[in-house]
Structure 1
Amino acid sequence: MSSTGATANQSTWWHTFYGGLQKMGRSLQLPVAVLPAAGILTRFGQDDIFGKDGLGWDRVAKAIAAAGGALLDPALGLPLLFCIGVAIGMAKKADGSTALAAVAGFLVYYAVLRAFPKACPAPSVLEQTVCIDFEAKTAVKVDFQNPGVLGGILMGLFSAWLWVRYHRVRLVDWLGFFNGRRLVPMITALVGLLFGSLMVWIWQPIGTGLADFSKWLSDLGAGGSGIFGVANRALLLVGMHQLLNTFVWFQFGTYTNPHTGKTATGDIGRFLAGDPTAGQFLSGFFPIMMFALPAAAMAIAASAKPHRRKEIYGLMTSVALTSFVTGVTEPIEYSFAYVAPLLYGIHALLTGASMAVTWGLGVHDGFSFSAGLIDYVINWNLATKPWLIIPIGLCFAVVYYAVFRFVIVKFDLKTPGREDEGEIEDPTKA
């Protein structure tokens, strides 16, 4: 094979792999889009809003909290949402039957996990789904293997592949009723059975390893927050930051609310449940998304060529407001990530710095969807020192504006508004 052919094959392989990662990243955005509803419902259902310490509508609060809790359930709700989202996003020309196949496979997989509870610690004995200690007269719910969101993602990938592979299959005439799309849920259910059985066997060491790594990161304190922040922004380039987030945000750590007795897992779930120690991997995003990236957008606009400055200011003002209010930062980040990777590297490092500084100063804040103004206001009463986010954010805004403006001009980076003539395109499209 010629060197040209080998280079072409490597390029094709890389583009296929990279395209798959981006498609996976977009697929993960679909279930993530449900989280604002889950977070708002969970927040409104707490005592200080609709509950006894707020409006006093206890029964309404109970119903609302249950609704939000169903979506954030780390064993069923969240994994099922991710399973369906990944199946729809990864399957070519997906339709309703893709989601049906994913649900069928996931429910079988989930039931298999629940069929094999963990052993009760001595001297407790298992009675249905409860470990009972007759001597101490105590009873606790039995634990099950819980791959959580990661398990849902894998089941979604299986469902997508099976749907693409079998949704056009035609069987013999006397089995014609089960042709094509009707066949896929049956196959997916069988795969769910096999996958669930495999997880019962192998998840314990995998889960322990992930928990140990997350605990190591958590034990680093501000340093761990910083490492997570850098990795989160770096993986955004290939759309895989959500895969990094899943275990830390939705599964690591456990908190039992002393008033309701309900247990929450993950940094997001624990924060929304009222855990005052949660937010290590969430708090530092607020200064970046509400203040720093909007300032970076203004620096990009100010650095544009004079005849394009008005146009770029209009564009950047729009994406800056989006980042500030909702915490959706991709339009800003993608506007410079690929045309000026040096800027993106600086941004990733500064995000890590914000995570470390915020946590180091004792700020414990969180969000259900993203670190924008909406989550900041809604979750104010749950947070610790939320007011510190404003001065921290303003400091990072000054740093971002100064650094971005200097680097863009110094190295003549082709950020929006500085492109060569004939190379102008929409900079917000990834």
Structure 2
Amino acid sequence: MSSAGATAPRTTWWHTFYGGLQKMGRSLQLPVAVLPAAGILNRLGQPDVFGPDGLGWDNVAKVFAAAGGALLDSSFGLPMLFCVGVAIGMAKKADGSTALAAVVGFLVYFAVLQAFPEKCKPPTVLISDQCIDFTSAKAAAAVYQNPGVLGGLLLGLISAWLWMRFHRTRLVDWLGFFNGRRLVPMITAVAGLLLACLSVWVWPPIGRTLTDLSQHLSDLGSVGAGIFGVLNRVLLLVGMHQLLNFFLWFQFGDYTKPDGAVVHGDIPRFLAGDPTAGQFTSGFFPIMMFALPAAALAIAHAAKPHRRKEIYGLMLSVGLTSFVTGITEPIEYSFAYIAPALYAVHALLTGASMAITWGLGVHDGFSFSAGLIDYALNWGLATKPWLILPIGASFAVVYYALFRFIIVKFDVKTPGREDESEVEDVTKP
């Protein structure tokens, strides 16, 4: 058959859709990577650090709290971060103009949302952006329809598409100044306006549905935490775990801070001092700090004798990365696709850790991931954080024993146990 007659494999709609979801998952990593800075700033502004219960540097604490709060603001800061991050991540060959277009679109979108506050409940009356009760001389901030992080994510997708579609567009000569990249922010501003108008209309039923589903999971208590843990690890395999995380972590639930500001989402609520937060974060600490490093040790011990030194170095590196930072993908991907049964065990045990930790009353959280850095930084905000140590040690023993048994018993080809013909000789050019 000639090359001209050969046909390339057809790309199905499912492969295109699946590839888009994977790319979306990777794009969400960019705004998530900003959260450690937000968490550190917010933590330094807490009363027990620079505040009145700590060093007593009240004004310094206010500076740090305001800085961290700006990034963790669930109505403006976080949605804008996700909007810009997704726009950059999803647009092919994105540059600074992509981010500028996303910012312009988001500012218009947010301003239009703020123009339509919900009606105040009697006897309060809406004055400017306040619901005022003249009989009791009390006031409360008006409530607005705001899709939060979800709205920022959608606008980021729209901004990326508009940039790819129009960044090379050429207009008539007399409008030549607005060619290409200069045109995109103008179009994105219109898109932001339209999305805001649509959100004011359709978000209430959508928001109620998502909240009801999240509330049902929350009401299940430790069982709900366990279900979330299993689904989180399963979706990590295809790079889509952030799609599950974002509503529960950044939008569900509310907590009113002492200054009257309201924050939403498991992570922002925990960092703001909500003692009831952490249901969907606490159980990751035993897994990321203890269990997965123990799994890495089991993989190293199970390697062939002549390759153990090499595998020890590799597994020590990825184990320390998981323990200190909570970045687990290097360990998980080392066995996930070559030993699905091992990964299934890992997913189920992650769910068990989430359920047990929450069931024992541990409330802990993180700004980035469940590693030593966040564990130490947020000790003062957590409830029973010391319990994570014995829970983690117990899971480390279970992980090591199960992984070592399964690998040896079923001759799983984890790193260091591959057939010699499959081992690359790095000494050859």
TM-score > 0.5, shorter chain as reference:
yes
**What displacement does 1:390 show?**
0.4
Where 1:9 maps in the other structure, the secondary structure is coil
Q: Which amino acid aligns with 1:177?
A: F
**What displacement does 1:396 show?**
0.4
Give 1:411's aligned residue.
410
Give 1:48's aligned residue.
48
**What displacement does 1:24 show?**
1.3
**What displacement does 1:335 show?**
1.1
Give 2:295's aligned residue.
296
Q: Pairwise mapping of residues 21-420 of structure 1 onto structure 2 (< 5 A)?
A: 21-258=21-258, 260-420=259-419
**What displacement does 1:7 show?**
11
Counterparts of 2:90 and 2:307, CA distance in 1: 39
Query: Cα deviations across residues 159-199 of structure 1 (Å, max 9, x unaligned)?
Result: 11111111111111111101110111111111111111111
Query: Cα deviations across residues 71-115 of structure 1 (Å, max 9, x unaligned)?
Result: 000011001111111111111100000101111111111111111
Counterparts of 2:234 and 2:64, CA distance in 1: 36
Q: Which amino acid aligns with 1:392?
A: I
Out of 166-175 and 263-272, give the one that drifted further.
263-272
Cα distance change, pair 412–7 in 1 and its aligned pair in 2 (3 A) = farther
TM-score by length of 1: 0.95
Counterparts of 1:414 and 1:17, CA distance in 2: 32
Where 1:264 maps in the other structure, the secondary structure is strand
Q: Which amino acid aligns with 2:247?
A: F
Counterparts of 1:167 and 1:157, CA distance in 2: 15
Query: Cα deviations across residues 255-305 of structure 1 (Å, max 9, x unaligned)?
Result: 1133x3332211111111111111111110000000000011111111222
Counterparts of 1:338 and 1:6, CA distance in 2: 30
Where 2:263 maps in the other structure, the secondary structure is strand
Cα distance change, pair 139–34 in 1 and its aligned pair in 2 (3 A) = same
Cα distance change, pair 16–218 in 1 and its aligned pair in 2 (3 A) = same
Query: Cα deviations across residues 307-328 of structure 1 (Å, max 9, x unaligned)?
Result: 2111111011001001001111
Out of 170-179 and 133-142, give the one that drifted further.
133-142
Give 2:3's aligned residue.
none
Where 1:255 maps in the other structure, the secondary structure is strand
Q: Which amino acid aligns with 2:155?
A: M
Query: Cα deviations across residues 109-136 of structure 1 (Å, max 9, x unaligned)?
Result: 1111111111111121110100111123
**What displacement does 1:20 show?**
2.1
Q: Which amino acid aligns with 1:299?
A: A
Counterparts of 1:201 and 1:414, CA distance in 2: 54
Counterparts of 1:181 and 1:413, CA distance in 2: 52
TM-score by length of 2: 0.95
Consecutive unaligned residues in structure 1, runs of 5 or more: none
Q: What is the number of equivalent residue pairs in this alignment?
A: 420
Counterparts of 2:45 and 2:90, CA distance in 1: 34
Counterparts of 2:421 and 2:9, CA distance in 1: 28
Query: Cα deviations across residues 187-238 of structure 1 (Å, max 9, x unaligned)?
Result: 1111111111111100001111111111111111100100110111111112
Calculate the aligned-residue CA RMSD, in Å: 1.7
Where 2:353 maps in the other structure, the secondary structure is helix
Counterparts of 2:18 and 2:345, CA distance in 1: 23
Give 1:9's aligned residue.
10
Q: Which amino acid aligns with 1:237?
A: L
Consecutive unaligned residues in structure 2, runs of 5 or more: 1-5
Counterparts of 2:360 and 2:237, CA distance in 1: 29
**What displacement does 1:23 show?**
1.5
Cα distance change, pair 60–336 in 1 and its aligned pair in 2 (3 A) = same
Counterparts of 1:237 and 1:6, CA distance in 2: 31
Identity %: 77
Counterparts of 1:7 and 1:391, CA distance in 2: 56
Cα distance change, pair 147–6 in 1 and its aligned pair in 2 (3 A) = farther
Counterparts of 2:154 and 2:198, CA distance in 1: 12
**What displacement does 1:403 show?**
1.0
Counterparts of 1:411 and 1:173, CA distance in 2: 71
Cα distance change, pair 7–95 in 1 and its aligned pair in 2 (3 A) = closer
Counterparts of 1:255 and 1:115, CA distance in 2: 24
Where 1:132 maps in the other structure, the secondary structure is strand
Q: Which amino acid aligns with 1:44?
A: L
Query: Cα deviations across residues 333-387 of structure 1 (Å, max 9, x unaligned)?
Result: 1111112111111111100000000000111111111111011111111111111
Q: Which amino acid aligns with 1:408?
A: I
Counterparts of 1:343 and 1:313, CA distance in 2: 19
Counterparts of 1:32 and 1:177, CA distance in 2: 36
